[in-house]
């Protein structure tokens, strides 16, 4: 699952409060945290008011030019209104552009996620510029896109960690977006995975 380096066999996962790290080598949280968030969202969506269509895509090779998202079957995404990518380091970021240079969506779309955070009792989710991601590719296809924090830090390094509380807060944010029907009815959930 989306690891630049092999996982060290026999390593231990060390837990300190809500932070996980590896005893040796990389943790591999980028972007296993996004995969876990999407799977949890799917298990909870029945309890929301959302009555639209959710599509899920796990893409490959995001770090080397977003090759997986660029190769996605166009028939699969032709009716998608919005994309929610969960592959951003840190917590409570709503990435709406690549360095304010390439916009993934209008400012109003990012503010919908800020509103969803407030409705879920998390009023410090904020729109911000970020790096190149699959969200940029889907925006190129004309799909409103954001890239949400997944709770990991120091990706691809031996100091990599994940705050699983932050990952769960991302689940709650997307659940709030769906429950309050803040965006159109055909949504694509994406993270890089396999």
Kind of pairing, strands 53-59 and 82-88?
unpaired
Structure tokens of 26? 């990389």
SS3 162: strand
Please say if the pLDDT value at position 61 is more than 90: no
- CATH number for the domain running over 13-192: 3.40.630.10
Cα 136 to Cα 185: distance, rounded to the nearest angstrom:
21
pTM of the complete model beyond 0.85: yes
| Closest alpha carbon to 140 in 110, 97, 100 | 97
Is 169's pLDDT higher than 80? yes
Give domain limits for the chain: 13-192
Examine the pLDDT at 194 and tell me if it is beyond 50. Answer: no
Q: Which helix H or strand E contains 134, and what residues bound it?
A: helix 134-140
């Amino acid at each position: 699952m989306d690891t630049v380096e092999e996982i060290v066999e026999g390593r231990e996962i060390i837990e300190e409060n809500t932070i996980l790290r590896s005893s040796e080598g990389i943790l591999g949280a980028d972007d296993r945290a996004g995969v876990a968030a999407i799977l949890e969202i799917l298990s909870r969506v029945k309890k929301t008011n959302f009555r639209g269509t959710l599509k899920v895509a796990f893409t490959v090779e995001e770090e080397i030019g977003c090759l997986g998202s660029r190769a996605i079957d166009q028939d699969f995404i032709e009716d998608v209104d919005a994309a929610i990518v969960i592959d951003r380091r840190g917590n409570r970021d709503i990435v709406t552009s690549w360095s304010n240079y390439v916009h993934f969506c209008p400012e109003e779309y990012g503010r919908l996620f800020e509103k969803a955070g407030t409705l879920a009792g998390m009023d410090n989710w904020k729109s911000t510029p970020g790096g190149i991601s699959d969200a940029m590719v889907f925006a190129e296809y004309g799909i409103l896109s954001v890239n949400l924090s997944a709770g990991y830090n120091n990706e691809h390094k031996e100091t990599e960690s994940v705050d699983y509380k932050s990952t769960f807060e991302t689940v709650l944010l997307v659940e709030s977006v769906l429950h309050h029907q803040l965006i159109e009815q055909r949504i694509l959930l994406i993270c890089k995975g396999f």
